[in-house]
C-alpha cells in the first residue's frame, strides 16, 4: 500500500495535532505556591458585650504570592455555616499544639491575608506560638505557615 503525498501530509498534521492536544495539559498544571510567612502585627484591645479581649493581629508577608482566584466565592463547594458563597480557600489559625483558635472562610482576595486575628479574654495568657493553614478546598492542597510569636 502506497501513501500519496497528500495522505502523508494529512497523517503528519493529524499526528502533530494529537501531540499538541496531549501536551496541552501541561499548561494547566497547578502552580506551586510558597508556604505563608506569618508576621505578628501587634495586639488590639477591644470590649465586646462588656468583656475585655485582646485581639492578636497577623499578616502574611508573602500574601501577593497567592492568586486572588484562591479566595473567590465558591458556591460549588460546601458552605461555611450559612454562607453558601464561602471562598475556595479557608484560613485557620492554630496554636503550637494544633488547637484551632480562629478561622476565616470568606476573605475575598489575598489582601485578607493581611487582616488575620484570634482573640482571647484579656486576662488569659496566649499561646507562645501560632501558625496558619490555607486550605484550598478545590484542589485539597494545604499551605502551612511558619510559626509566629504572640508578643512583640
* Contact indicator for 132, 93 with CB cutoff of 8 Å: yes
Alpha-carbon gap, residue 41 to 39, rounded angstroms: 6
Q: What is the CATH number of domain 38-149?
A: 2.60.40
Domain ranges of the chain: 38-149
Contacts (Cβ under 8 Å, ≥6 apart) of 117 = 44, 55, 56, 57, 58, 93, 102
Segment 69-95 shows an average pLDDT of 94
Q: What is the 3-state secondary structure (H, E, C) of the chain?
A: CCCCHHHHHHHHHHHHHHHHHHHHHHHHCCCCCCCCCEEEEEEEEEEECCEEEEEEEEEECCHHHCCHHHHCECCCCCCECCECCCECEEEEEEECCCCEEEEECCCCCHHHHHCEEEEEECCCCCCCEEEEEEEECCCCEEEECCCEECCC
Identify the residue with better confidence: 33 or 28.
33
Q: Dihedral, CA atoms, 49, 112, 94, 44, nearest 10 degrees?
A: -40
- pLDDT band for 26, please (50, 70, 90 cuts): very low
Cα(106)–Cα(112) distance, integer angstroms: 9
Q: Is the pTM of this model over 0.85?
A: no
pLDDT at 22 over 80: no
Report the share of the chain in percent with pLDDT over 90: 76
Residue 21 has pLDDT above 80, yes or no: no
* Residue that wins the pLDDT comparison between 15 and 138: 138
- Give the least confident one: 9-23, 26-40, 73-87, 104-118: 9-23
Please report which confidence band the pLDDT of residue 106 belongs to, taking 50, 70 and 90 as the band edges.
Answer: very high
Pick the range with the lowest mean pLDDT from 14-28, 35-49, 91-105: 14-28
Amino acid at each position: 500500500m502506497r501513501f500519496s503525498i497528500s495522505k502523508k501530509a494529512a497523517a503528519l498534521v493529524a499526528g502533530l495535532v494529537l501531540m499538541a492536544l496531549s501536551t496541552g495539559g501541561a499548561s494547566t498544571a497547578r502552580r506551586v505556591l510558597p508556604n505563608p510567612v506569618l508576621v505578628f502585627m501587634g495586639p488590639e484591645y477591644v470590649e465586646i458585650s462588656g468583656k475585655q479581649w485582646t485581639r492578636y493581629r497577623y499578616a502574611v508577608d508573602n500574601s501577593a504570592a497567592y492568586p486572588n482566584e484562591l479566595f473567590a466565592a465558591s458556591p460549588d463547594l460546601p458552605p461555611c455555616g450559612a454562607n453558601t458563597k464561602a471562598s475556595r480557600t479557608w484560613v485557620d489559625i492554630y496554636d503550637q499544639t494544633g488547637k484551632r483558635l480562629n478561622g476565616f472562610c470568606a476573605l475575598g482576595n489575598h489582601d485578607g491575608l493581611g487582616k488575620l486575628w484570634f482573640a482571647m479574654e484579656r486576662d488569659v495568657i496566649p499561646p507562645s506560638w501560632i501558625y496558619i493553614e490555607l486550605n484550598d478546598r478545590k484542589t485539597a492542597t494545604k499551605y502551612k505557615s511558619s510559626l509566629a510569636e504572640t508578643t512583640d
